[in-house]
Amino acid sequence: MNKTIIKIDKTIIKIIKKVNNMTDSRPSKFVKESSLINYKIAMPEDSNPGNENVNGGRVLQLIDNVAGISALRHCRTRTVTASIDKMDFIYPIKVGELMILSASVNHVFGQSMEVGVRVEVENLRTGDRHTTGKAYLTFLAVDQEGQPIKVPFLVEPETETEKRRYKEAEARRKLRLEQRELLG
């Protein structure tokens, strides 16, 4: 009985969302409007105690910061981090290396958007550069009371990379929703 009511509720919500979308006058933004690159030299205070590797939590903080700016550039309104997907640290980052964090909005849903961040490091003496990690974050646009509001649309992706990221973001979104439904 309860399951039937929940199903009907979900159907009604879907219909309301469809009608809302038809009359939706949200502005549209290009991916390039939210893209940015942040540079940071890894300093001793960024490292783990007792070794010269940068602390993972510090890298996450930098990722959240750059992704937050990207989300803000897309929305031009208050945003909050709702979640950060699993993060793999592929290589250690050493003190003295240049960290290069590139962020952009990959996809926009109703009140949420996915921001992707790529972390690269450059050895400033040799010029060697490699990717050390990637992260995908979900941000929400919120009003002054912290209530979610609609995010501006994303114009159809232009470049091959933007198109690939857009498609992959859809798949990740599906997984996130399934996971939340399963695990709560």
Ligand X SMILES: CC(C)(COP(=O)(O)OP(=O)(O)OC[C@H]1O[C@@H](n2cnc3c(N)ncnc32)[C@H](O)[C@@H]1OP(=O)(O)O)[C@@H](O)C(=O)NCCC(=O)NCCS
Of 36, 60, 110, 122, the one binding ligand X (CB under 6 A) is: 110
Under the criterion CB under 6 A, does residue 44 sit at the interface with ligand X? no
Q: How far apart are CA 132 and CA 148, in angstroms?
A: 33
Under the criterion CB under 6 A, does residue 68 sit at the interface with ligand X? no
Q: 146-161: string of b/e by CB count within 10 Å (b at 16+)?
A: eeeebbbebeebeeee
Q: Is 147 helix (H, G, I), strand (E, B) or coil?
A: coil
Of 6, 41, 80, 90, the one binding ligand X (CB under 6 A) is: 80
> Which residue, among 1, 129, 109, 133, has the nearest Cα to 57 in the 3D structure?
133
| Closer to ligand X by Cβ: residue 35 or 81 | 81
Under the criterion CB under 6 A, does residue 115 sit at the interface with ligand X? no
**Is 104:166 a contact under the CB 8 Å cutoff?**
no
Options 7-15, 41-49, 121-129, 138-146: segment touching ligand X (CB under 6 A): 138-146
Of 11, 20, 83, 123, the one binding ligand X (CB under 6 A) is: 83
Closest residue to ligand X in the complex (CB): 110
Residues 160-179 binding ligand X (CB under 6 A) are 176
Under the criterion CB under 6 A, does residue 106 sit at the interface with ligand X? no
Q: How far apart are CA 149 and CA 152, in angstroms?
A: 10
Of 109, 122, 134, 155, the one binding ligand X (CB under 6 A) is: 109
| Closer to ligand X by Cβ: residue 82 or 98 | 82
Of 112, 119, 141, 157, the one binding ligand X (CB under 6 A) is: 112
Shortest distance, position 133 Cβ to ligand X, whole Å: 20
**Is 29:152 a contact under the CB 8 Å cutoff?**
yes
The amino acid sitting at 83 is S
Q: 67-87: string of b/e by CB count within 10 Å (b at 16+)?
A: bbbbbebbbeeebeeeebeeb
Under the criterion CB under 6 A, does residue 100 sit at the interface with ligand X? no
**Which parts of this chain interact with ligand X (CB under 6 A)?**
80-83, 109-112, 138, 140, 142, 146, 148, 176
